[in-house]
Amino acid sequence: MSHIVTESCNECKYTDCCVVCPVECFYQDETMLYIDPNDCIDCEACVPECPVEAIYAESNLPSQWNSYIQLNKDRAESLKSSGHITEKSEPMEGPGCKKK
Ligand code: SF4
Ligand code: SF4
């Protein structure tokens, strides 16, 4: 089990989540953040931090975002060397970000 970053993070990247993670398991690419399921300890600290409610426990994940389970795993793996994020940065708030 793990927590999953879903579509709502896309082009928002508020990055409030990674600051509170005790095991530093967030990774980012140009569009969103991902959680490494091998490191996440399901502490839930990140869930209330996200302004767009993009993060869910896998057990609580709305079915339309099932594909994000594999996506978080795959992207976290390939971003291991370049995309580790542990500190808040300027939000992206691109055109695809639903929170304005
Ligand atoms: S706080 Fe939410 S929107 Fe911001 S980076 Fe984390 S998951 Fe994405
Ligand atoms: S649930 Fe806890 S361990 Fe998992 S990503 Fe969120 S803050 Fe990190």
The domains of the chain are located at 3-78
| 86 CA to centre of ligand 1 in angstroms | 12
Q: What is the pLDDT of residues 81-93, one digit of tens each?
A: 999 999 999 999 9
Pull the structure tokens for residue 4.
């999953």
| 44 CA to centre of ligand 2 in angstroms | 6
Q: What is the pLDDT of residues 66-80, one digit of tens each?
A: 999 999 999 999 999
Instruction: Please state the atom number of ligand 1 nearest to the C-alpha of residue 8.
Output: 3
- Cβ atoms of 15 and 85 closer than 8 Å: yes
100: pLDDT strictly greater than 70: no
Q: In the CATH scheme, what architecture does the domain 3-78 have? A: 2-Layer Sandwich (3.30)
Strand boundaries in 1-100, DSSP class E: 3-5, 26-28, 33-35, 55-57
- Cβ atoms of 63 and 4 closer than 8 Å: no
Name the closest-CA residue to atom 5, ligand 2: 40
Distance of CA 91 to the CA centre of its chain: 13
Name the closest-CA residue to atom 8, ligand 2: 21
Q: Which residue has the higher pLDDT, 99 or 7?
A: 7
Name the closest-CA residue to atom 7, ligand 2: 21
